Homo-oligomer: A and B are copies of this chain.
Amino acid sequence: MANTDSVGVKVFSLNCWGIRYMSKHCPQRYAMIGEMLCNEDHDIVLLQEVWSEKDFLYLKKKLACSHPHSHYFKSGVIGSGLAIFSKHRIRDTFLYRYSLNGYPYMVHHGDWFGGKAVGMAVVNLGSLTANVYVTHLHAEYCREKDSYLPHRVVQAWELQQFVRHTSAGADMVILGGDLNMHPRDLGNRLLRSYTGLRDSYLETVKFDGCEDGMTLIADNPFISRKELVPFEKGIRIDYILFQGSSKTDIYCDSMSTTKGSLPDRPFPYSDHEALTAELRLKSHIPAETGSDRQAKSHDSAAGKLAELIDIVTEARTEVKVGLHCAERMRYTAARTGVMGLALLFLELAIAAVPWLALGAEQPFPRTSFYLLAALCFAILLTTSLLYIFYTMELKSLQGAEDQMRLAVGSLQEKLRGFPVAQPHKALRRPPEGQEPGAFGPEE
């Protein structure tokens, strides 16, 4: 940290790919990560996929001198995998578990068991307060036919809600993590438009890293090129986002990523690239209040609002698609369950008839009878569990859709309040790199 006028904050974010006994060179990589974090002078370190608490404790021990404050966020069956290390005191923590997070029966994808969440830490930076968020959204396994898209959109929705509602008292907001979304993906636009969070890669003065700021690249030895198709060179899915407050301005002086391999090391820290951003916080300079500038800013605010309405509407459509899908799945589960029940009754009837009417003249096929009964019970149990699960999924999707509908109404009301009303349908999306702007409750 520099003088009182301007406070520097160095932020680090990395998806550690820390599946014990499964991820390649896991212990060696943790040792490398620990060593590097010890030497570099990061104020705040945000880690994802630290699946084992033992690995967290290893890092905690290693970083005891450089980063005395830390928190590991626990959730789900395995854990959220989220960890934070800080040079500065962590005053408070809070965890929000996303309501949707894939399906428990997709065991090979494993996201459900991770209990994906967003962790928040309130960090004291001298007299200033920083709300630091770390998160990891549901993975994208197939971009063309992404059955998890509604889940990820709802996660992005809940993430923006959480950040927006919990950050009103903070001087500075920092969000780091693996969002599993490309820069122009719906969830990313939703998050950035609604909260006003700025992307350090787009905002930085100096940049040193992979082309287009990519964080999952073909040059990384842990990445198979097949996974990346059709993005041969790589994709950008990890971010450090930031925001000031009404009292503070914030800038990104420099940003860097690792580049797939490390000098003098046999392999990189992880299958994802690590991000470092150097942010600078300054006390706020009041904006000009000339009427011309005001009218201009009104125009642009109205434009941004209209843009946000479009994005929320798009997200609502996506959630509706998820709703229809969940409804269909629940219906299928119910139908299969009813068929299992019918089969059971049929079997009982068949079993009852020879005993009651014909007596024990012919041998009763016990083996088949018990096997079939077991099958019926298995079907009934599985479909019941699935029915319960899909009902919960439906409720969460409906809840998100309701909230989005209300949000659109509320934003439209706000838009009507602007002096120059602009028909939002005519507006186009801004090109990549343009900041969408914030519409939080603090406005």
Measured CB to CB, the residues of A under 8 A from B are 71-77, 79, 89-97, 99, 115, 120, 122, 129, 161-162, 165-166, 168-170, 366-367, 370-371, 373-374, 377-378, 381, 388, 391-392, 395-396, 398-399, 402-403, 406-407, 410, 413, 441-442
Residues of B within 8 A of A79 (CB): 395
- Considering the chains assembled together, what is the distance between the CA atoms of A129 and B440 in angstroms? 13
Give the 6 A-B CB pairs with smallest separation, nearest first.
A168-B169, A74-B399, A370-B370, A168-B168, A165-B166, A74-B395
Residues of B within 8 A of A74 (CB): 395-396, 398-399, 402
- Considering the chains assembled together, what is the distance between the CA atoms of A97 and B162 in angstroms? 12
Residues of B within 8 A of A388 (CB): 77
Closest chain-B Cβ to A71's Cβ sits at a distance in Å of 7
Residues of B within 8 A of A377 (CB): 374, 378
Task: Establish whether residues A161 and B76, one from each chain, have CB atoms under 8 Å apart when the complex forms.
Answer: no
Residues of B within 8 A of A366 (CB): 366-367, 370
Most buried by B among A161, A169, A377, A388: A169
Nearest CB to that of A367 among chain B residues?
B366
Task: Establish whether residues B120 and A165, one from each chain, have CB atoms under 8 Å apart when the complex forms.
Answer: yes
Whether A441 touches B92, Cβ cut-off 8 Å, given contacts A165-B166, A406-B71, is: yes
Taking A92-B407, A169-B442 as known contacts, 8 extra A-B pairs with beta carbons closer than 8 A to each other, sorted by chain A number, are: A75-B395, A92-B165, A92-B410, A93-B403, A94-B165, A94-B403, A122-B441, A166-B168
Task: Establish whether residues B441 and A406, one from each chain, have CB atoms under 8 Å apart when the complex forms.
Answer: no
Task: Establish whether residues A73 and B407, one from each chain, have CB atoms under 8 Å apart when the complex forms.
Answer: no
Whether A392 touches B76, Cβ cut-off 8 Å, given contacts A94-B165, A367-B366, is: yes
Task: Establish whether residues A77 and B370, one from each chain, have CB atoms under 8 Å apart when the complex forms.
Answer: no
Kindly identify which residue among B367, B370, B399 contacts A374, using a CB–CB cutoff of 8 Å.
Answer: B370
- Considering the chains assembled together, what is the distance between the CA atoms of A310 and B28 in angstroms? 43
Closest chain-B Cβ to A103's Cβ sits at a distance in Å of 14
- Considering the chains assembled together, what is the distance between the CA atoms of A168 and B99 in angstroms? 24
Task: Establish whether residues B97 and A99, one from each chain, have CB atoms under 8 Å apart when the complex forms.
Answer: yes
- Considering the chains assembled together, what is the distance between the CA atoms of A75 and B410 in angstroms? 22
- Considering the chains assembled together, what is the distance between the CA atoms of A377 and B120 in angstroms? 42
Nearest CB to that of A93 among chain B residues?
B403
- Considering the chains assembled together, what is the distance between the CA atoms of A410 and B88 in angstroms? 12
Closest chain-B Cβ to A243's Cβ sits at a distance in Å of 14
Closest chain-B Cβ to A160's Cβ sits at a distance in Å of 10
Closest chain-B Cβ to A308's Cβ sits at a distance in Å of 13
Task: Establish whether residues A77 and B395, one from each chain, have CB atoms under 8 Å apart when the complex forms.
Answer: yes
Residues of B within 8 A of A169 (CB): 168-169, 441-442
Closest chain-B Cβ to A183's Cβ sits at a distance in Å of 26
A/B interface sample: 20 pairs, CB < 8 A: A71-B406, A72-B402, A74-B396, A75-B399, A79-B395, A90-B406, A91-B410, A92-B165, A93-B402, A94-B162, A115-B392, A120-B165, A165-B166, A168-B170, A366-B367, A366-B370, A370-B370, A370-B371, A374-B374, A374-B377
